[in-house]
Amino acid sequence: MKTDYVIELENVWKTYTMGENKVHALQGLNLKVKRGEFLAVVGPSGSGKSTAMNMIGVLDRPTKGTIKLDGKDITQYSESELAQIRGKKIGFIFQKFNLINTMSAKENVMLPLVFQDVPPAVREKKAKELLTLVDLQERMDHKPSELSGGQQQRVAIARALAVDPEVILADEPTGNLDSKTGGTVMDFLKKLHEEQSKTIIMVTHDNELTSFAQRVETLQDGKVKQ
């Protein structure tokens, strides 16, 4: 039975030990994300945005607190179980694109499907469809170094969509782009939300981007600002 919430963070703390000091990156973060919602998480540098993104994307474990995915507590899952969840449930879009420079655009998009044991012919067909979706059908065989920043980010979006994830997690998706190209990327994310009912969680310091979201939460000192 699916709950209304796809992700729930309950009293999540993340503490890092640095020498003799303890740094509390998250201090009792409570955050619930509804299925099909477009949420923007904002806040100044040091507010805990990046750490929160790692928790939402199950890239890291909390020091204490609970993380639920589809109502199931995944805090005690093994690393291999978490990797499976990430591979099937969540698509990541990073500020620095994180494309593999030795691979073509098509090969970069196919890569997540390799880890899901999808047959080669199916991988290639899917990659071509997704690159056409982001209007890069003419650039499929180009390597990242042969693409503009905006084109690389669109390859990254296509890669994020490869496993048809329910959740898209975008970390500063326009951070390395000019305003016009950034606008194009944001329009595409909005389209994914509206036409494919994707849950989109965007972490950003750019308050102008919040107009694309349905809900905005501000982090301060490792928790949601009241």
Digit-coded pLDDT (tens) for 50-104: 899 999 998 888 999 999 998 889 988 888 888 888 888 899 888 788 899 999 9
CA dist., res. 214 & res. 57, Å (int): 20
Evaluate whether residue 3 is within a structural domain.
Answer: no
Q: Is 134 left (phi over 0), alpha (psi -120 to 50) or beta?
A: alpha
On whether residue 105 sits in a domain, the answer given is yes
Q: What is the DSSP letter of 207?
A: G
Note the pLDDT of residue 95: 78
Q: What is the pTM assigned to this prediction?
A: 0.88
In a domain, 19, yes or no: no
Q: Is residue 180 part of a domain?
A: yes
Domain membership of residue 25 (yes or no) is no
Q: What CATH number has the domain bearing residue 190?
A: 3.40.50.300
| Single-letter amino acid code for the residue at 225 | K
Number of separate domains in the chain: 1
Are 195 and 188 in contact by the 8 Å Cβ rule? The answer is no
Question: Tell me: the pLDDT tens digits for 158-206?
Answer: 999 898 888 999 988 888 888 888 888 888 899 889 988 899 999 998 8
Task: Please check whether residue 159 lies inside any domain of the structure.
Answer: yes
Closest CA to 143 of 112, 111, 110, 103: 103
In a domain, 39, yes or no: yes
Phi, psi of 207 (to 5 degrees): -65, -20
Its domain, for residue 141, covers 35-60+79-224
> Would 85 be classed as within a structural domain?
yes
Average pLDDT over residues 29-37: 95
